């Protein structure tokens, strides 16, 4: 019994006092990154939403959803969409210290004149964390 108690104490103390590694993977709802960029002949402004991130020292790589405001002039005939529209994109964001670079994709729904399609973009931003 004494050996079992000593072994359990050593294992638990090893877990509590061990050194952590520099690389960590975690999930987050907001990572404090705001990005502006270009996609599909228009601009976007977004922040990182729910994501999975990998952090190593000053570098962070995130893969997740991007709640956005898309700014694009609708040149279709007849009824037109607003110049600024909310959108949800997905993509990858890489942040080094405070600088963020993003590769988002947005889905454009089917219209009478065009099929639905995914449009890729690129953006540059600032990481608050």
User: pLDDT tens for residues 80-90?
Assistant: 778 999 999 99
Closest alpha carbon to 102 in 50, 39, 57, 41: 39
**Contact indicator for 95, 60 with CB cutoff of 8 Å:** yes
Residue from 98, 119, 97 nearest 108 by CA: 119
| pLDDT tens digits for range 14-43 | 544 555 556 777 777 777 899 999 998 899
pLDDT digits (tens, 9 = 90+) for 88-124: 999 999 999 999 999 999 998 877 777 889 999 999 9
Q: What pLDDT shows up at residue 15?
A: 47
Domain boundaries defined on the chain: 21-127
Is the pTM value of this prediction over 0.85?
Answer: no
């Amino acid at each position: 019994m004494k050996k079992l108690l000593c072994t359990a104490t050593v294992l638990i103390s090893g877990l509590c006092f061990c050194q952590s590694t520099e690389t960590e993977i975690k999930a987050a709802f907001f990572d404090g990154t705001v990005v502006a960029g270009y996609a599909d002949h228009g601009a976007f402004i977004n922040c990182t939403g729910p994501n999975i991130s990998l952090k190593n020292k000053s570098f962070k790589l995130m893969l997740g959803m991007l709640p956005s405001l898309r700014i694009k002039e609708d040149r279709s005939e007849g009824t037109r969409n607003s110049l600024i529209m909310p959108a949800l994109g997905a993509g990858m964001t890489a942040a080094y210290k405070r600088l963020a670079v993003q590769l988002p994709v947005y889905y454009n729904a089917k219209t009478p004149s065009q099929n639905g399609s995914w449009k890729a973009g690129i953006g540059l931003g600032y990481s608050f964390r």
